[in-house]
């Protein structure tokens, strides 16, 4: 039986961190086995809230290098850039005409951005259109499944409605995609806020052992645990939240050790450092291997985009024909 087709994208907003790895990439790597996967760099989506991205070619290529270094495999999955796939743009224009403004304005991510009149005067049309472009990204490939984070679920619901509208008008041309939610917990930044580049609190995939050690030393622990002999409460500690992910086999020992002050925060952080460092080491090695092959990323993208054009071209041919553009 043919594998179901899957599409997902990631915005090119800068270097990737453990939140991307745990929340998205590990999931993608696993999904490659079961689905026909199309993964793309959502380059246009990265511009919905900024005018310019410095060194964009490097930003894109480095993101692709990160994908490959964690195990996204160009032999299994199609890897491409949204900005090379003009089919997405054409379909977005078409679908924008079938999308009532109210649907977009009610979108939670958009509503958050236009709280007041001042925000309304700065937020872009592209931001409002975000879910329409996202629908086009998916519909171009006639994808059946889309892995998204919980925050993106309303977007996918909108995509389904837009596609239903298109199909209701022109016939069953585009499949209605289903969301697959990854079950990973949200990773906190080293300051206990949501991990985000803009908070400067992230642990990057590209940390060296030294910079990783430094970041882990900076992590917020139980603020009540001032002296080495004070017992701690692991449940309020960021380090412990990470141990839940990276040290599940020693979690009880660490939790009890913290509560009884049998272990100190320094040792506790060292254990975490060893775990994360051991996980990152093969990723670093693969990155070096990839970087040692000049032209490799360009080749991966050229092959991916060739295949992507075949599939998107077919969909767009049906769309153009159904709407009366081809005669
Ligand atoms: N909206 C996604 C994000 O911010 C990125 C994205 C763009 C996407 N187009 C998509 C994800 C299509 C899945 C399918 O993470
Ligand atoms: Fe956090 Fe570990 Fe210190 Fe307890 S011992 S407060 S879990 S770093």
DSSP-assigned beta bridge partners for residue 204: 17
By alpha-carbon position, which residue is closest to atom 13 of ligand 1?
8
- Quick one: pLDDT at residue 286? 98
Q: What whole-number distance in Å separates Cα of residue 127 and Cα of residue 285? A: 38
- In tens, the pLDDT along 13-70 reads 988 999 999 999 999 999 999 999 999 999 999 999 899 999 999 999 999 999 999 9
Query: How confident is the model over 134-141, as a mean pLDDT?
Result: 98
Q: Is 190 in the pocket of ligand 2 (CB under 6 A)?
A: no
304 three-state secondary structure: helix
User: Is 282 in the same domain as 154?
Assistant: no
* Structural domain includes residue 196: no
Number of folded domains in the chain?
2
For residues 113 and 213, state if they share a domain: no
Please tell me the distance from the alpha carbon of residue 156 to that of residue 8, in angstroms, as a whole number: 11
Cα–Cα distance between 134 and 8 in angstroms, integer?
9
Closest CA to 228 of 270, 255, 264: 264
Please report, for residues 45, 153, 184, 202, the alpha-carbon distance to residue 148 in angstroms, rounded to integers and kept in the order given. 15, 7, 11, 21
CATH code for the domain in which residue 265 is found:
1.10.240.10
Say yes or no: 216 and 76 in one domain.
no
- Same domain, residue pair 182 and 39: yes
| Shared-domain flag, residues 151 and 108 | yes
For 264-309, write each residue's pLDDT tens digit.
999 999 999 999 999 999 999 999 999 999 999 999 999 999 999 9
Task: Kindly state if the Cβ of 221 falls inside 6 Å of ligand 2.
Answer: yes
Binding site membership of 232 for ligand 2 (Cβ less than 6 Å): yes
- How much is the pTM? 0.95
Domain that residue 61 falls in? 5-187+295-323
Q: Are residues 258 and 174 in the same domain?
A: no
Residues 75 and 133 in one domain: yes
User: How much distance in Å is there from the Cα of 254 to the middle of ligand 1?
Assistant: 37
The rounded Å distance from CA 152 to ligand 1 centre is 8
> Residue 280: which H helix or E strand, with range?
helix 265-291
Ligand closest in space to the Cα of 247 = 2
- Which residue, among 30, 50, 4, has the nearest Cα to 12 in the 3D structure? 50
Q: What's the pLDDT tens digit per position in 97-111? A: 999 999 999 988 888
For residue 198, being part of any structural domain is answered with no
User: CA–CA separation, 141 vs 191, rounded Å?
Assistant: 40
Whether 64 is covered by a domain: the verdict is: yes
Which ligand has the minimum distance to the alpha carbon of residue 135?
1
Domain membership of residue 309 (yes or no) is yes
């Amino acid at each position: 039986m043919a594998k179901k087709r899957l599409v997902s994208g990631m915005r090119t907003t800068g270097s990737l961190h453990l939140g991307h790895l745990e929340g998205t990439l590990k999931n993608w790597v696993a999904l490659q086995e079961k689905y026909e996967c199309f993964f793309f760099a959502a380059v246009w989506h990265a511009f919905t809230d900024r005018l310019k991205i410095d060194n964009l070619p490097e930003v894109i290529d480095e993101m692709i290098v990160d994908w490959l270094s964690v195990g996204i495999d160009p032999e299994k999955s199609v890897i491409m850039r949204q900005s090379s796939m003009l089919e997405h743009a054409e379909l977005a224009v078409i679908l924008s005409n079938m999308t009532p403004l109210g649907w977009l304005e009610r979108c939670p991510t958009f509503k958050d951005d236009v709280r007041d009149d001042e925000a309304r005067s700065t937020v872009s049309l592209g931001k409002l259109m975000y879910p329409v472009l996202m629908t086009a990204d998916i519909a171009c490939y006639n994808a059946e499944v889309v892995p998204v984070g919980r925050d993106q679920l309303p977007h996918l619901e909108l995509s389904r409605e837009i596609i239903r509208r298109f199909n209701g008008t022109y016939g069953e041309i585009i499949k209605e995609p289903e969301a697959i939610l990854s079950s990973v917990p949200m990773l906190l930044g080293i300051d206990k806020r949501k991990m985000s580049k803009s908070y400067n609190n992230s642990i990057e995939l590209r940390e060296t052992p030294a910079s990783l050690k430094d970041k882990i030393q900076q992590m917020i622990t139980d603020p009540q645990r001032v002296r080495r002999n004070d017992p701690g409460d692991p449940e309020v500690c960021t380090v412990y939240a990470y141990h839940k992910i990276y040290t599940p086999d020693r979690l009880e020992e660490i939790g009890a050790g913290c509560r009884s002050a049998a272990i100190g925060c320094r040792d506790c952080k060292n254990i975490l450092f060893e775990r994360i460092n051991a996980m990152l080491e093969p990723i670093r090695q693969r990155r070096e291997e990839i970087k040692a092959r000049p032209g490799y990323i360009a080749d991966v993208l050229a092959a991916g985009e060739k295949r992507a054009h075949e599939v998107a071209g077919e969909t767009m041919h049906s769309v153009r024909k159904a709407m009366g553009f081809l005669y």
